[in-house]
């Protein structure tokens, strides 16, 4: 009996990692948005997320930069290892619950992890975690989120009703936080000459 050295999932993960490596191997010139994201948003939080990862999600999945930041701030304090909760250690910056390995975003995961009595995705790297986050926002919940996040004004109440749960304790506070983050981040970008 021959035992395979790698599983199909391992091959798929390695293929994605190779693709990420090839896409990021060439020297890139940071955009003003990338610089702002790294210096003003992720850097102060010692986050493993980079501005390039967020901009890639915008290019690949059609999710604007600002709503990604708002959701990441609400869920894991922009990926802050100290303030963002345990899921940051598993590169699950959007707090995505586990729905199986065969979802578009689950194909990038290396499994799941139990945190606070629930099962969540675990991703092998920050890059794959952010790609999984982008894919989830694009096609998760049967594509519900993408129209809400691809063009301003963003309907945070409708977004939160599904992402957080309308009947979950803290829903109204979560919605208020989303709108507050949007205002604060938009103002910070405007001060740097960037129109979100």
Residue ranges of domains in the chain: 29-191
pLDDT of residue 134: 98
What local confidence, expressed as pLDDT, does residue 2 receive?
47
CA dihedral 164, 169, 171, 174 (to 10 degrees): -80
Sequence-distant (6+) residues with CB within 8 A of 24 are: 52, 127
Give the per-residue pLDDT at 11. Answer: 57
pLDDT at 150: 85
SS (H, E, C) the chain: CCCCCCCHHHHHHHHHHHHHHHHHHCCCCCCHHHHHHHHHHHHHHCCCCCHHHHHHHHHHHCCCHHHHHHHHHHHHHHHCCCCCCHHHHHCCCCCCECCCCCCCCHHHCCEEEEECCEEEEECCCHHHHHHHHHHHHHHHHHHCHHHHHCCCCCCHHHHHHHHHHCCCCCHHHHHHHHHHHHHHHHHHHHHCCCCC
Give the per-residue pLDDT at 25.
Answer: 46
pLDDT at res. 15: 59
Phi and psi of 131, rounded to 5°? -65, -40
Q: From first to last of its 196 residues, what are the pLDDT tens digits of the chain?
A: 444 555 666 655 655 655 555 454 444 557 899 999 999 999 999 999 999 999 999 999 999 999 999 999 999 999 999 999 999 999 999 999 999 999 999 999 999 999 999 999 999 999 999 999 999 999 999 999 999 998 899 999 999 999 999 999 999 999 999 999 999 999 999 999 999 9
Query: Residue 114 burial by CB count (10 A; 0-12/13-18/19+): exposed, middle or buried?
Result: exposed
Tell which CATH classification among 1.10.150.20, 3.40.30.160, 1.10.530.10, 1.10.101.10 matches the domain 29-191: 1.10.530.10
- Nearest by Cα to 163 from 90, 48, 72: 72
Task: State the pLDDT at residue 3.
Answer: 46
pTM: 0.86
């Amino acid at each position: 009996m021959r035992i395979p050295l790698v599983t199909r999932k391992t091959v798929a993960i390695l293929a994605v990692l190779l693709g990420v490596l090839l896409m990021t191997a060439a020297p890139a010139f940071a955009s003003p948005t990338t610089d702002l994201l790294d210096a003003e948003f992720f850097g102060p939080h010692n986050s493993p997320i980079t501005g390039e990862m967020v901009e890639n999600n915008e290019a690949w999945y059609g999710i604007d930069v600002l709503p990604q930041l708002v959701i990441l701030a609400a869920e894991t304090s922009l990926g802050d290892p100290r303030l963002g909760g345990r899921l940051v250690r598993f590169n699950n910056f959007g707090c995505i619950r586990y729905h199986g390995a065969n979802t578009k975003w689950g194909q990038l995961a290396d499994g799941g992890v139990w945190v606070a009595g629930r099962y969540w995705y675990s991703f092998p790297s920050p890059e794959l975690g952010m790609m999984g986050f982008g894919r989830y926002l694009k096609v998760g919940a049967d594509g519900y989120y993408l129209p809400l996040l691809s063009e301003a004004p963003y309907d945070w109440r409708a977004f939160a009703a599904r992402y957080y749960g309308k009947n979950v304790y803290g829903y109204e506070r979560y919605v208020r936080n989303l709108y507050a983050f949007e205002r604060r981040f938009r103002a910070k970008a405007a001060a740097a000459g960037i129109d979100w």
